[in-house]
A and B are shown apart, each in its own frame.
Chain A
């Protein structure tokens, strides 16, 4: 089955740039989506279609995709950005199966 691979953890100091990667063989043909989940809360969409930001999401969140890797960048990370981040995409089969990456714990301290 299709897999998306993320690093388990990323750590930055406040104000630094955090980059979280997501690799998958179908990403050259499929969009990546990014979800933020804070402890005990439901996920929140922060990036859709590789690089678009929903209304209400701070400008410091951005996304990009090149080849088999998508990247979520948080420029000037804040303490409140500490959360688990999940990438999501679909496989390239005709059945359109959705897949989440394993998640990345972002620590900002």
Chain B
């Protein structure tokens, strides 16, 4: 079945970096994009950006420009999201979501989420 499986929870210190993975299965990875969305504890959803698994094109949230990098490894059907210079307000559950071609905002399959805690 179609699924996205994310890496496990992380605890990081302020100023460090984190890299979350999202492994896809059950569909042709390069025919879709991947968006990343995060959710701080008790808060709403926040769009972080999108990457095309076909050609690696990216579009990042302006708020995160310069701190976030999204990549894909087509040989393993895995997407990655790296966030640098972590702050306490980056503490959140991070989700990856599949994006169908020509429907860049329909996140139709979601990963289970990865909790990232930033604490000294």
Judge if A14 is at the interface, Cβ distance under 8 Å.
no
Which residues of the partner chain B approach A49 to less than 8 Å between Cβ atoms? 103, 106
Number of A-B contacts (CB under 8 A): 63
Count chain B residues whose beta carbon lies closer than 8 angstroms to a beta carbon of A: 23
Q: In the bound complex, what is the Cα–Cα distance between A103 and B42 (angstroms)?
A: 11
Given contacts A45-B106, A49-B106, 18 further A-B contacts (CB under 8 A): A1-B62, A1-B63, A33-B107, A35-B107, A42-B110, A43-B95, A48-B105, A84-B44, A86-B45, A88-B45, A89-B105, A95-B62, A98-B47, A98-B50, A100-B44, A100-B46, A101-B44, A103-B45
Interface centre among B62, B95, B105, B108 (most CB of A within 10 A): B105
* Residue B9, interface by CB 8 Å: no
Show the binding face of B for A, using Cβ within 8 Å.
35, 37, 44-47, 50, 59, 61-63, 95, 97, 103-108, 110-113
Q: Complex: how many Å from CA A37 to CA B43?
A: 12
Say whether, besides A42-B95, A42-B112, A43-B95, A99 and B106 are in contact (CB < 8 Å). no
Interface residues as binary, A21-60 with B (CB distance below 8 Å gives 1, 0 otherwise): 0000000000101010100001111001100001000000
Looking at the assembled complex, report how far the CB atom of B69 sits from the nearest CB atom of chain A, in whole angstroms: 17
In the bound complex, what is the Cα–Cα distance between A90 and B99 (angstroms)? Answer: 14
Q: Is A97 an interface residue (CB 8 A)?
A: yes
**B61 engages A48 (CB within 8 Å):** no
